[in-house]
Amino acid sequence: TICTSRLVQIPEGVEVTLNGRKVTVKGPRGELKRDLGHQTVEVTRVDENTIKITKWNARKKEIACIRSLCSAIDNMITGVTKGYRYKMRLVSAHFPISCVIDGKNVKIMNFLGKREALHVTMRGDTSIVLAKEPKDCLVLEGNDIDDVSQSAADITQKCKVRNKDIRKFLDGVYVSEKGPIED
């Protein structure tokens, strides 16, 4: 196609600043920045509540990238207005898993009866707490969906069962709920 474009709507209370292909989103929960320079697209402001992303002479995969960039900006807007929350459950059938949280660091102990503790550091502005209501539940919260989801993936990967039959050893730390903060 010759010209492909997509629009992103900006809600009230959110300020979006464009500097070339660098996008800065400010809202009630904070500020997020993202560089879209890896794609050759035009990022322009149509009016005060709309951003337009345009790609000229795009192939099929490049057209798909336009939607990905729009989704990234939408996720930034949701992050600075609501934020993101991931809930993770500690699942153990053989040895009870215990967790100690020290600021941005998580120490997972007694995973599959291992003596050494597994350490994971949260990425970016992600915060983590051990929930009281459902037992053995970790709650990760933050504004940047990339940092929150990657922190959850780091915890899951650290607690991966190796050299055992995974049909029998289902122990681990798994994501049970995810999405924007609704309360």
pLDDT in tens, 144-168: 999 999 999 999 999 888 888 888 8
| Terminal CA-CA length for the chain | 43
Beta-bridge partner residues of 137: 89, 131
Share of the chain above pLDDT 70, in %: 100
- What pLDDT is recorded for position 162? 86
DSSP letter assigned to residue 58: -
Q: What is the pLDDT of residues 136-145, one digit of tens each?
A: 899 999 999 9
- What pLDDT is recorded for position 154? 95
pTM higher than 0.75 for the full model?
Answer: yes
Beta-bridge partner residues of 51: 8, 45
Structure tokens at 34: 């993202």
Whether residue 84 is predicted with pLDDT greater than 90 in this model: the reply is yes
Q: How far is CA 103 from the centre of its chain?
A: 19
Rounded distance between C-alpha atoms, residue 44 and residue 35, angstroms = 14
**Looking up tokens 């922190």, which residue turns up?**
151
Beta-bridge partner residues of 27: 30
